[in-house]
């Protein structure tokens, strides 16, 4: 063990320094980002969770220029039906449909079936992606699908992990481990790296494939920080949870209307999909109903556009070139939030 202790920064530890801007309107700011040949107007991806991403979210995200990845916690036949119904419901038939797979069991059969039914993006979705099973899966997948689909993979928390996944065949990499609002990996295992530090570290790579910042993002300001640090996309779960388009029934209580939201390593999810539990690294909860995801996305988009304009950036590439971070103290964090005198 090295005696030198590294320091990791979370999104709340820093701010972006405002800079000279000649941007007169947020409409001048463009947020487009690419996954291979697939261009997205909005750099937001809905997480492949069973309480976030099925057909309705796929269609809604595509309508707003983003992406939703269909979760893998179902049979191959059930996932194919979601892919087919999503494709049939898209306003723009050229919008890519994305679906998740794992690294064991039926993952190769599932991948072939998904691609055969029109999936254009596969997401190899595991908690700890810097692993021999990920290496095997990516190499086998690349040998089968060649360059016909985009392969996203993760999650990783280090530059070494990012580089290895790219070298093994990933076209984009999900970066961050244990930072999600209902993820308890860091508590249960003692492992992880703060989200902002992960993105800064992975962005030092010379590999040049898209970075997807996944976990720990609580608002549009965090999205701007992730993009400024080197991410090309952000992946969201909790911010999109509880919207009309998420799977699951509305739960009516005296306190209001709620929907289920759970981590895929929670006891509830593991029992439902696997019939047993292993390591519990997530929790299950309920969240207030939030209405259409359109409203959430529009509010996030306005915040992101404003954020870029504060750095004088008209697009994500300019933001990454101009961004200057400053670390804030705990008092600075308090001051940064809304507050009143008591």
What rounded mean pLDDT belongs to the chain?
A: 94
**Model confidence pTM above 0.85:** yes
**Which is catalytic among the residues 123, 183, 202, 289?**
183
Residue 158 has pLDDT above 90, yes or no: yes
253 occurs within a structural domain: yes
338 occurs within a structural domain: no
Range of the domain at 313: 13-328
According to the model, what pLDDT value does residue 316 have? 98
267 occurs within a structural domain: yes
Asked if 281 and 263 count as a contact pair (C-beta separation under 8 A), the reply is: yes
336 occurs within a structural domain: no
Cα-Cα-Cα-Cα dihedral sign, residues 177, 179, 239, 318: negative
According to the model, what pLDDT value does residue 279 have? 76
Helix, strand, coil shares, percent, the chain, to 5 = 35, 20, 45
67 occurs within a structural domain: yes
The band of 207, judged by pLDDT with boundaries at 50, 70 and 90, is very high
Query: For this structure, is 123 an active site residue?
Result: no
250 occurs within a structural domain: yes
Mean pLDDT of 115-131: 97
Mean pLDDT of 304-321: 98
Token output for 305: 């556009």
58 occurs within a structural domain: yes
132 occurs within a structural domain: yes
What is the CATH number for 128? 3.20.20.70
Give the length of the chain.
Answer: 342
Range scoring the smallest mean pLDDT among 90-94, 152-156, 272-276, 323-327: 272-276
Alpha helices in the chain (DSSP H): 55-63, 76-89, 107-116, 132-145, 159-168, 185-189, 195-202, 220-229, 267-274, 293-310, 316-322, 330-336
Please count the structural domains in the chain.
Answer: 1
Cα-Cα-Cα-Cα dihedral sign, residues 56, 60, 63, 68: negative
According to the model, what pLDDT value does residue 276 have? 75
């Amino acid at each position: 063990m090295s005696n030198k202790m590294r320091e990791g920064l979370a999104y709340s530890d820093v701010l972006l320094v405002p800079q000279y801007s000649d941007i007169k309107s947020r409409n001048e700011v463009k947020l487009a980002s690419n996954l291979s040949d697939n261009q997205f107007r909005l750099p937001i991806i809905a997480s492949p969770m069973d309480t976030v991403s099925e057909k309705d979210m796929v269609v809604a995200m595509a309508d707003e220029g983003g992406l939703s990845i269909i979760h893998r916690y179902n049979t191959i036949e059930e996932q194919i039906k979601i892919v087919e119904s999503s494709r049939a419901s898209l306003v723009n038939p050229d919008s890519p449909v994305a679906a998740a797979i794992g690294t064991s069991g039926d993952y190769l059969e599932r991948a072939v079936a998904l691609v055969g039914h029109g999936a254009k993006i596969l997401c190899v979705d595991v908690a700890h992606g810097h692993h021999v099973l990920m290496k095997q899966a990516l190499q086998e997948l690349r040998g089968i699908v060649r360059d016909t689909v985009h392969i996203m993979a993760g999650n990783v928390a280090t530059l070494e992990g990012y580089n290895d996944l790219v070298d093994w065949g990933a076209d984009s990499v999900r970066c961050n481990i244990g930072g999600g609002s209902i993820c308890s990996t860091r508590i249960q295992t003692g492992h992880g790296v703060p989200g902002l530090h992960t993105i800064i570290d992975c962005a030092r790579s010379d590999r040049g494939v898209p970075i997807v910042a996944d976990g720990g993002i609580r608002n549009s300001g965090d999205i701007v920080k992730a993009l400024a640090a080197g991410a090309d996309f952000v992946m969201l779960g909790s911010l999109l949870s509880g919207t009309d388009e998420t799977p699951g029934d509305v739960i009516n209580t005296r306190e209001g209307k709620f929907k289920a939201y759970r981590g895929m390593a929670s006891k509830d999810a593991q029992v439902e999909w696997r019939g047993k539990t292993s390591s519990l690294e997530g929790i299950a909860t309920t969240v207030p109903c939030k209405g259409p995801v359109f409203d959430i996305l529009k509010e996030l988009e306005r915040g992101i556009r404003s954020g870029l304009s504060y750095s004088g950036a008209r697009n994500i590439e300019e933001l990454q070139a101009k961004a200057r971070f400053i670390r804030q103290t705990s008092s600075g964090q308090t001051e940064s939030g809304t507050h009143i005198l008591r």
